[in-house]
Amino acid sequence: MNREATLLLTRHEVARLLTMEECIAAVEQAFRLYGEKQAKPPGMLGLDANKGAFHIKAGFLRLQRNYFAVKVNANYPENGERFGLPTIQGMVMLCDAENGRPLAVMESAEITARRTAAATAVAAKYLARPKSAVLTVCGCGVQGQAQVRALAVVLPLRSVFAYDTFRERAEQFAEQIADELGIEVRAVADLRKALLESDVGVTCTTSRKPLLTKDDVPPGIFLAAVGADHPEKQELGPALMAACKVVADVAEQCAAIGDLHHAIAAGTMQLSDVHAELGEIVAGRKPGRRSPEEMIIFDSTGMALQDVAAAAATYENALAAGWNSAVDFAA
């Protein structure tokens, strides 16, 4: 293969090349480098569109080589029912940051799903109770599936409650994940009841109003709020945010587009109330969980360095496998 050419990778190829375990390791390294201030702050641009939005996220990481990646994602929550298309569509371009050469162009939805779930797994590793065995997932789409797969890598899960506004989707999710992971997965109609019996909760929806209040979660829970990546999206009530220790992926970004944004707007929190960014905890600069009773929220809005790390790992695996799907754009 001509290594001066740019690799082209489809969604299925990304899935074949990047295991969840590898993605978690890559994302943890990205957070550690960011927490150690060995990586520049990533950039983000969000643009609204008709019934959807576009996100552009970019960043640099020095790994085996110096990488730059930019991701352009379209997020259209009504795509399934309107057009039969995925909610998330887009591309990641990975470049050599020493000379700017495009190394790879890859489909972004698989990268996004895996790196988002990997971030939850990294956060759970440091913030959930070590023996956490019961998980509730709110939102049984592609991201919900990825979340369970990732958490099963770092926690001793033995049962999962699956909640979705579409009961049939939750039932299909339960059957698929139970067969795949060999653990008990049950579709439920009562989200609050499930969470009160859980060690860990994940919300991964497109909701624009709070799904949970402070009365819906038990002491000691680790809760990852994944869905809010736009100022109008919201999954957690402001009082719930204020009642918990909040860890952000990127604090200022969460204050702009995450559930933290709504807590600040409601006056229940200030930016200074955030306990830490995840990178600071991974790097050992700030403590994680201090007691079994602490309620901890991970406000996950998606950091561009996660995309760089996941794309770089995918690219390096492709080179090692002798991948030959490439094009010379400069020809």
- pLDDT tens, position by position, for the chain (331 residues)? 445 789 999 999 999 999 999 999 999 999 999 999 999 999 999 898 988 889 899 999 999 899 999 999 998 989 988 999 988 899 999 999 999 999 999 999 999 999 999 999 999 999 999 999 999 999 999 999 999 999 999 999 999 999 999 999 999 999 999 999 999 999 999 999 999 999 999 999 999 999 999 999 999 999 999 999 889 999 999 999 999 999 999 999 999 999 999 999 999 999 999 999 999 999 999 999 999 999 999 999 999 999 999 999 999 999 999 988 878 777 6
For domain 6-111+305-327, give the CATH superfamily.
ornithine cyclodeaminase, domain 1 (3.30.1780.10)
What distance in Å separates the CA atoms of residue 26 and residue 41, rounded to the nearest whole number? 17
Structure tokens at 137: 């997932």
Q: What angle do CA 136, 141, 144 make, to 5 degrees?
A: 35
To the question of domain 117-302 being in CATH 3.60.21.70, the answer is no
How far apart, in whole angstroms, are the C-alpha atoms of residue 66 and residue 316? Answer: 13
Check residue 75 and give its pLDDT.
86
- Please report the pLDDT score of residue 77 as a whole number: 85
pLDDT, position 228: 94
Rounded Cα distance, 279 and 289, in Å: 14
> Residue 325: its pLDDT value, please?
82
pTM of the model: 0.94
CB of 30 closer than 8 Å to CB of 61: yes
Active site residue 209: no
Note whether 219 and 293 are within 8 A (CB).
yes
Amino acid at 162: A
Give the active site residue among 37, 40, 51, 71: 71
Give the number of other CB atoms < 10 A from CB of residue 301.
29
Q: Domain extents for the chain?
A: 6-111+305-327, 117-302
Give the Cβ contact number of residue 182 at 10 Å: 9
Residue 324: predicted pLDDT: 81
Output the CA–CA distances (angstroms, integers) from residue 306 to 41, 119, 147, 264, in the order listed.
12, 8, 15, 25
